[in-house]
Amino acid sequence: MFFSLITIAQGVNVPPPPPPQPPPPGLPIDSGIAVLFVVALVFGVYKAIKISKKLKA
């Protein structure tokens, strides 16, 4: 009986809600990935042709 009076006397301490998270940075990589892929493909073809010419000589 005494315990119930003590717990009622304490009151309700509700912690404040956490602050909202900041939004993620906006980093568009749509066109950059396509350009990087094309450059890598062209460079790979260039190196393959260069190596095949070197092996034939």
- The whole-number pLDDT of residue 43 equals 98
Q: What is the pLDDT of residues 1-56, one digit of tens each?
A: 555 555 555 556 777 888 998 877 776 667 788 889 999 999 999 999 999 998 88
- The whole-number pLDDT of residue 8 equals 59
Q: What is the pLDDT of residues 19-33, one digit of tens each?
A: 998 877 776 667 788
Cα distance between residue 27 and residue 17, in whole Å: 29
9 phi and psi, to 5 degrees?
A: -70, -20
pTM, two decimals, is: 0.48
